[in-house]
């Protein structure tokens, strides 16, 4: 959804924020949750006067260390082709031009137990994205440019430097209250190559729409050689990436292939080949159908009880001569049926 923070009329910033609850969902039960306390970056004076690059450092509290930090180019949760840096280091160094190309720097943090750092927005939604925006502001706001305060969910700082109004926006204002909803996550730290033709996202069509718009903008801003055509870009959409099954209960998910259009839209790819492979450690798991074209909704069930165990279902999709894979976690629950004479 598109949210507009409650900024004064002379200083309006639009944030595109998605509520995507990824993985398993639970509720806090007394144990502290991972909490982002602060993200330190360049001051406005540094950003305005220095060529960069700039270093950002995050301070954490609670949860179970070590933490995994996924620094991202875009605001789409779990979009795996936009990773700037993913590691257990709590800092990242970013070139100045990054902000003119992408608008901001975005962060997802997961602790050693797979719990994501979260915050609660004004509408009560659970958010997993933390962000820093830098940039020049419209000249018309110069008379009232100098501000440094919280506005809505964000902390906004604006200052006139060398006759230009520069702004820095941190969303949310930190430290933020973590949500009581626990969002489980398995961060994938392997950053794909820059010429990757696929991205993988988890969520509904609204997330696909945002991802398509972001990808189109990235391709438009990407340096090109003379006469070079932009590469075809595809999205592999998973409706969810965590399943729970038992002998009495099946589960299902949908996987769909989309192609990004030049204007930032998306269209179905009916010729995309999709294959779903069960985990080797759950021999009694049945997936039907396991292959298809364009879109597939497999039903996942247990034929025999393997014990309480988790495994990874692998999804592979191919289109345009390129292939992508994604994982869906499946957990077998319950107890075996016991018959008595």
Q: Of 303, 304, 300, nearest to 313 (Cα)?
A: 300
What is the pLDDT, as a whole number, of residue 82?
Answer: 66
What is the pLDDT, as a whole number, of residue 17?
Answer: 31
Q: What is the pTM of this model?
A: 0.58
The CA-to-CA distance between both ends of the chain, in Å, stands at 58
Which position has the token pair 């033709």?
197
All domains of the chain in start order, with CATH: 2-183 (no CATH), 198-332 (2.60.40.10)
pLDDT by 10s per residue, the chain, length 341? 333 333 332 233 322 333 333 334 344 445 688 999 999 999 999 999 999 899 999 999 999 999 999 888 776 655 555 677 888 889 999 998 888 777 788 999 999 888 999 998 888 888 888 999 888 876 565 566 888 999 889 999 988 888 888 889 999 999 888 888 888 777 766 544 444 588 888 888 887 887 787 777 767 766 566 666 667 889 999 998 889 999 999 999 999 999 999 888 999 999 999 999 998 888 889 999 999 999 999 999 998 888 778 888 989 999 988 888 888 889 888 765 554 44
Question: Please, are residues 238 and 201 in contact by the beta-carbon 8 Å criterion?
Answer: yes
DSSP H helices in the chain: 44-49, 97-102, 205-221
Which 3 state secondary structure label does DSSP give 159? strand
Return left, alpha or beta for 59; rule: phi > 0 is left, psi -120 to 50 is alpha, else beta.
beta
Token readout for 52 is 């960069």
CA angle 257, 202, 276 (to 5 degrees): 55
Compute the Cα dihedral for 317, 319, 324, 328 and give only its sign.
Answer: negative
């Amino acid at each position: 959804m598109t949210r507009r923070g409650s900024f004064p009329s002379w200083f309006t910033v639009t944030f595109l924020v998605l509520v995507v609850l990824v993985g398993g969902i639970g509720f806090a039960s007394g144990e502290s949750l991972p909490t982002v306390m602060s993200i330190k970056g360049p001051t406005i004076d540094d950003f305005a006067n220095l060529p960069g690059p700039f270093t950002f450092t995050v301070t954490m509290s609670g949860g179970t260390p070590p933490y995994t930090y996924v620094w991202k180019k875009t605001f789409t949760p779990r979009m795996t082709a936009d990773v700037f840096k993913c590691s257990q280091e709590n800092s990242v160094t970013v070139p100045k031009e990054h902000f003119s190309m992408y608008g901001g720097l975005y962060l997802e943090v997961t602790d050693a137990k797979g719990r994501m750092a979260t915050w609660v927005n004004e509408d009560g939604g659970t958010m997993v994205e933390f962000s820093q925006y830098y940039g020049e502001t419209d000249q018309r706001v110069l008379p009232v440019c100098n501000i440094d305060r919280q506005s809505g969910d964000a902390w906004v700082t604006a200052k006139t430097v060398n006759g230009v109004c520069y702004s820095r926006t941190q969303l949310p204002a930190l430290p933020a209250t973590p949500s009581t909803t626990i969002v489980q996550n398995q961060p994938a730290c392997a950053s794909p190559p820059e010429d990757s033709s696929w991205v993988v996202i988890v969520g509904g069509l609204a997330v696909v729409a945002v991802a398509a718009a972001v990808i189109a903008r990235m391709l438009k801003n990407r340096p090109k050689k003379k006469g070079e055509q932009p590469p075809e870009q595809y999205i592999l959409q998973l409706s969810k990436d965590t399943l729970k099954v038992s002998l009495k209960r099946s589960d299902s998910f949908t996987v769909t292939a989309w192609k990004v259009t030049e204007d930032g839209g998306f269209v179905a790819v009916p010729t995309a080949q999709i294959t779903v492979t069960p985990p080797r450690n759950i021999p009694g798991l049945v997936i039907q159908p396991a292959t298809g074209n364009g879109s597939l909704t497999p039903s996942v069930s247990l034929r025999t009880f393997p014990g309480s165990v988790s495994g990874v279902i692998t999804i592979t999709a191919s289109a345009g001569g390129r292939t992508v894979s994604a994982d869906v976690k499946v957990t077998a629950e319950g107890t075996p049926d016991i018959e008595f004479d």
